[in-house]
């Protein structure tokens, strides 16, 4: 079992040489890049918005519950929501959701192409399929996922506002004061570093699982599941290491 993981890791590393080979036709790669950007960005926007608004709302309500009756000023809740969304919740939860949504789709799409001999057909045409099928997805995700995460952070903060101010937990002025308090611009850099890293992880892992799938529909389903599970585990690990590295 351990040997299989090591062998997969070796295969993955060697595969990168093929993935980042010079494109045969820049125009076709560009078209594929735009398609992927649309699929990842617009395709995932509704679920990302929905999750972000509730993340912000729940964070506010729970912190209000914990801090009620303490000497901590209420505007701190706005500050906590802002930093939690920016540093942790927006990048991590968005990417975990994307691993389930985009990652499993990519694994199934590429795995399906492998099983239906589409990849073989492209290879025989003289196309480097590792590059054509994977590189546009990687680049698209590295551009679009940080944008989605930014949107998620903003919508989460709005969700926090909607759950607190209309419910009279505290005033709008207090919430806005909290949002503007103790702002450290580096936190946004940390969010972007996380987003790009997680995007690369979820696309690489998912495409790898799909590209090298063997067998039939049961194996394809298993590959899709592995894509999500491995992406999630690696995203959580990467999250920890990024936080440790960037907060020292």
Partner 1 sequence: MIRAEGIFKQFGDQEVLKGVDFTFESGKTNLIIGRSGAGKTVLLKILVGLFPPTQGRVWFNDIDYTNLDKKGILAIRKKVGMLFQGNALFDSMTIEENIRFPMDMFTPMTPLEKQMRVDEVLERVSLSGVNLKYPSEISGGMQKRVGIARAIVLKPKYLFCDEPNSGLDPKTSITIDELISDITNEEDITTIINTHDMNSVMEIGENIILLEAGRLAWKGNKEQVLGTVNKELDAFIFASPFLKKLVEAAKNNGKNSLENL
Check residue 219 for interaction with partner 1 (CB under 8 A): no
Q: Residue 246 Cβ, how far from partner 1 at the closest point, in Å?
A: 39
Q: Residue 211 Cβ, how far from partner 1 at the closest point, in Å?
A: 15
Check residue 212 for interaction with partner 1 (CB under 8 A): no
Q: Give the nearer residue to partner 1 in terms of CB position, either 109 or 174.
A: 109
Q: Give the nearer residue to partner 1 in terms of CB position, either 24 or 219.
A: 24
Count of residues binding partner 1 (CB under 8 A)? Answer: 16
User: Residue-wise over 136-170: b if at least 16 C-beta within 10 A, else e?
Assistant: bbbbbbebbbbebbbbbbebbbbbbbebbbeeebb
DSSP secondary-structure letter at 216? Answer: S
Which stretch, 55-63, 65-73, 126-134, 151-159, contacts partner 1 (CB under 8 A)?
126-134
Q: Residue 188 Cβ, how far from partner 1 at the closest point, in Å?
A: 38
Rounded Cα gap, residues 233 and 220, in angstroms: 20
User: Residue-wise over 62-94: b if at least 16 C-beta within 10 A, else e?
Assistant: ebbeeeeeeeeebbbbbbbbbbbbbbbbbbbbb
> Residue length, the chain?
248
Check residue 25 for interaction with partner 1 (CB under 8 A): yes
Site residues for partner 1 per CB under 8 A: 21, 24-25, 27-28, 116-118, 120-121, 123-128
């Amino acid at each position: 079992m351990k040997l299989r993981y090591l062998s997969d890791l070796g295969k993955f590393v060697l595969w990168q040489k093929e993935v980042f080979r010079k494109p045969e036709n820049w125009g076709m790669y560009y078209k594929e890049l735009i398609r992927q950007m649309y699929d990842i960005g617009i395709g995932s926007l509704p679920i990302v918005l929905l999750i972000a608004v509730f993340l912000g709302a729940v964070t506010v309500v729970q912190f209000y519950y914990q801090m009620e009756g303490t000497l901590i000023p209420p505007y701190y809740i706005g500050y906590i929501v802002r930093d939690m969304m920016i540093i942790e919740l927006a990048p991590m939860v968005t990417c975990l959701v994307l691993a389930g949504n985009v990652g499993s789709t990519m694994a199934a799409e590429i795995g399906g192409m492998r099983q239906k001999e589409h990849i073989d057909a492209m290879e025989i045409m003289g196309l480097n399929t590792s590059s054509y099928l994977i590189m546009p997805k990687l680049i698209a995700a590295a551009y679009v996922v940080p944008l989605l995460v930014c949107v998620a952070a903003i919508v989460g903060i709005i969700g926090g506002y909607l759950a607190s101010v209309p419910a009279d937990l505290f005033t709008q002025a207090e919430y806005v004061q909290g949002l503007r308090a103790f702002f450290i611009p580096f936190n946004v850099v940390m969010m972007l570093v996380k987003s790009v890293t997680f995007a690369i992880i979820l696309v690489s892992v998912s495409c790898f699982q799909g590209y090298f799938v063997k067998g039939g529909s049961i194996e394809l389903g298993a590959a899709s599941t592995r894509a999500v599970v491995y992406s999630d585990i690696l995203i959580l690990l990467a999250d920890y290491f990024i936080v440790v590295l960037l907060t020292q």
